Structure 1
Amino acid sequence: MNNIYTKIFLFSFLIISCIWIYYKIITLNYFYSNKNFNIYNYIICMLNKKYLIKQIVSLFPIILLIFIIRLFIYEPFYIPSGSMIPSLVEGDFILVNKFIYGIKNPLNNKIIVNNKFPQRGDVIVFKYPKNVKINYIKRIIGLPGDIIFYNYKNKQITLYNKKYIKTYIIKYKHLEKSNLINFYENPTKYILLKKLRFLQYTEHINRLSHKILFIPEIKDETLKIYKQKNMPLYTWKVPNKCYFVMGDNRDDSFDSRYWGFVHEKFLLGKAVFIWLSIQKKTNSWFFKIRFNRIHKIN
């Protein structure tokens, strides 16, 4: 949730809260001051005092519950692009756990109460560091203190840490044509698919495994690689309180390779579940629900 929407929601919530408290006080005063009180007279009284407004204000407890859940516990997000294919595809609606990394101030996103620390392999939603009005979703590859080397030729990652040197285990698998149809619905947008060879492989991080998609023929030359000071090209050392993130669709993801690290203050939460997935039909208002995509996010 962007800060501007948070402020609007908070301001509206405070106004409704004040009105709700005001009407509750009036109702209680009426109840205790009227000895001949009965339900019929009470209803008449309510109708004479802008009943409709009171009914709306009576929704305050529900609004309060939704406000707390959305702001501090869980928030739904929509996947608008293919940067996380095949783990997440366009049209997926996901649930993000905002409490897992701690309770934050919704106005400045600073941590109030710490909980768990992000782990390698977590799929996270965060504010794009270059423009905090935009939310991104990527997978954590590097933690604070890690040194990451990315081989742009074979798309392989090597992670250096004080405790170990880790090259992620990769199993390659050629994608079938049917898989590509599920990933890309618009043939005009991906006209080169027939001429390119896609590979899908499994990457293991912290006992978790997930699928990665890339095109061997494509090299990382279309965007300028982020060059960290005092580090070789394609090598990064993750600063304190920062994370190195990448999309699972390695050749169609604008991530830490190109713009740098994600500071913890930009983290919104961990993506945990796909609760709905829709596939829109070209040039049509109709869509179908992909029930097979409703599952936990790895």
Structure 2
Amino acid sequence: MPILTAIILAAFVGYGTAWYLGAIEGNFALLLFMATVVTGLYWLAERFIFLPRRRAAADALQQQADQRRADLAAQGITQVDQGDLATARERVLAQPWWLDWTAGLFPVILIVFMLRSFVFEPFKIPSGSMIPTLLVGDLILVNKFTYGLKLPVIHTRLTEGKPVQRGDVVVFRYPPQPSVDYIKRVVGVPGDEVSYLNKQLTVNGQPMPRAVASDFFDESTMEYYKQFDEQLGVKNHRIIVDDRRPGFVAGAFDFQYKDNCRYSVEGVSCKVPEGHYFVMGDNRDNSLDSRFWGFVPDGNIVGKAFFVWMNFGDLKRIGAFN
């Protein structure tokens, strides 16, 4: 068992290292699931096989000591040196390293797996596509049950939750590369006619209300950008716009239901198909979103982003957001 365990642990370390170095495309959900299964099997083996064996060995050790004391007492010897019996029992009962690093970790890994799969999942914002709502380096929490629970890894829906609404900030599996998670704002739900023409968002023929706000200073580029308060349904949020960039969409991908979209020098208009969503970044001129790669299937939705729990560069960022 020690050799087999060493091989299994080495496989996990090798997978993680190859993922970190970019040699393979990792899947953390699958890795965590496999770690839960493997450590769970070791935990069951420890509970029902290995621990009873160690206890039996410790009891046998105690019985041998008791028998020796009884034999000596029969000979009239009452002063018996017990030696290091207690220490020996502790050593016999102690978990070996290969169980300590498997069965011993199972409860912690199981809790992390359950929380991450069905309650909250942490994410780190890697790019500036959601500025000013979310900044690079924000560590956020994503609610996994708002839109209904799904089985991890295979993403099969277990329960029906609330419907995704316009204005929600969602994390989803990037349609062109589902192993990668993206975060954007939903601007169109199934059946909507969404237009982004001349940098004005229109949904079902109605321009989304927006008001001029103070300019936003982006510390990463050391530049000021125009900022607006935009309202989607009941959600009010801020966006930034770069007037130096043209409104047309350059380099749109080929994607499913692309025939639902019409591109022009002014921008793009799309009819959102059933079971899909149209998403955009709040940094409207610096976001690779549905304008370029199409619609997000409902099955790709991971959860609703709602809280910044840490930003090591700016603790004032901690809190809820729209």
User: What is the TM-score of this pair, normalised by structure 2?
Assistant: 0.75
Describe the superposition over 1:74-95 as per-residue Cα deviations: whole angstroms up to 9, x where unpaired. Answer: 1111111110000001111111
**Does the CA contact (< 8 Å) of 1:76 and 1:96 recur in 2?**
yes
- Secondary structure of the residue aligned to 2:39 is helix
User: Which of the numbers 197, 207, 217 marks the counterpart of 2:244?
Assistant: 217
**Does the CA contact (< 8 Å) of 1:74 and 1:98 recur in 2?**
yes
Match of 1:11 in 2: 34
- Secondary structure of the residue aligned to 1:148 is strand
Describe the superposition over 1:86-116 as per-residue Cα deviations: whole angstroms up to 9, x where unpaired. Answer: 0001111111111211121222223222212
Q: Check if 1:133 corresponds to 2:179.
A: yes
Match of 1:293 in 2: 317
Once residues 62 and 79 of structure 1 are traced to their aligned partners in structure 2, the CA distance between those partners, rounded to angstroms, is 26
Code of the aligned partner of 2:100: Q
Match of 2:229 in 1: 202
Once residues 40 and 114 of structure 1 are traced to their aligned partners in structure 2, the CA distance between those partners, rounded to angstroms, is 56
Change (3 A) 1:174 1:219: farther
**Does the CA contact (< 8 Å) of 2:150 and 2:156 recur in 1?**
yes
Q: Check if 1:107 corresponds to 2:141.
A: no
User: Which of the numbers 71, 92, 107 marks the counterpart of 1:61?
Assistant: 107
Match of 1:237 in 2: 271
Once residues 155 and 53 of structure 2 are traced to their aligned partners in structure 1, the CA distance between those partners, rounded to angstroms, is 41
Q: Offset at 1:40? A: 6.1
Instruction: Write 1 or 2 for the structure with the bigger share of helix.
Output: 2
Once residues 261 and 138 of structure 2 are traced to their aligned partners in structure 1, the CA distance between those partners, rounded to angstroms, is 37
Code of the aligned partner of 2:236: S
**Does the CA contact (< 8 Å) of 1:3 and 1:107 recur in 2?**
no
Once residues 244 and 104 of structure 2 are traced to their aligned partners in structure 1, the CA distance between those partners, rounded to angstroms, is 61
**Does the CA contact (< 8 Å) of 1:174 and 1:198 recur in 2?**
no
Once residues 11 and 39 of structure 1 are traced to their aligned partners in structure 2, the CA distance between those partners, rounded to angstroms, is 38
Code of the aligned partner of 2:287: S
Match of 1:284 in 2: none
Once residues 293 and 44 of structure 1 are traced to their aligned partners in structure 2, the CA distance between those partners, rounded to angstroms, is 50
**Does the CA contact (< 8 Å) of 2:124 and 2:139 recur in 1?**
yes
Change (3 A) 1:201 1:12: same
Once residues 256 and 102 of structure 1 are traced to their aligned partners in structure 2, the CA distance between those partners, rounded to angstroms, is 23
Q: Check if 1:159 corresponds to 2:203.
A: yes
Unaligned stretches of 5+ residues in structure 2? 1-24, 64-84
- Secondary structure of the residue aligned to 2:159 is strand
**Does the CA contact (< 8 Å) of 2:141 and 2:306 recur in 1?**
yes
Change (3 A) 1:242 1:59: same
Change (3 A) 1:3 1:122: farther
Once residues 42 and 14 of structure 1 are traced to their aligned partners in structure 2, the CA distance between those partners, rounded to angstroms, is 31
Describe the superposition over 1:113-159 as per-residue Cα deviations: whole angstroms up to 9, x where unpaired. Answer: 221211111101111111112211100000001111222x2x11111
- Secondary structure of the residue aligned to 1:81 is coil
Change (3 A) 1:84 1:275: same
Q: Offset at 1:231? A: 4.9
User: What is the TM-score of this pair, normalised by structure 1?
Assistant: 0.80
User: Quick check: 64-73 or 243-252, which moved more?
Assistant: 64-73
Code of the aligned partner of 1:292: K
Once residues 282 and 303 of structure 2 are traced to their aligned partners in structure 1, the CA distance between those partners, rounded to angstroms, is 18
Change (3 A) 1:3 1:142: farther
Larger Rg: 2
Code of the aligned partner of 2:293: W
Root-mean-square deviation (CA, aligned residues, Å) is 2.5
Residues paired across the two proteins, number: 266
Once residues 101 and 39 of structure 1 are traced to their aligned partners in structure 2, the CA distance between those partners, rounded to angstroms, is 56
**Does the CA contact (< 8 Å) of 2:39 and 2:105 recur in 1?**
no
After TM superposition, list the pairs within 5 Å mapping 1:160-175 onto structure 2: 160=204, 165-175=205-215
Q: Check if 1:44 corresponds to 2:82.
A: no
Percent identity at matched positions?
33
Code of the aligned partner of 2:207: T
- Secondary structure of the residue aligned to 2:286 is coil
User: Which of the numbers 117, 123, 126 marks the counterpart of 1:80?
Assistant: 126
Q: Offset at 1:41? A: 6.1
- Secondary structure of the residue aligned to 2:279 is strand
Change (3 A) 1:39 1:65: farther
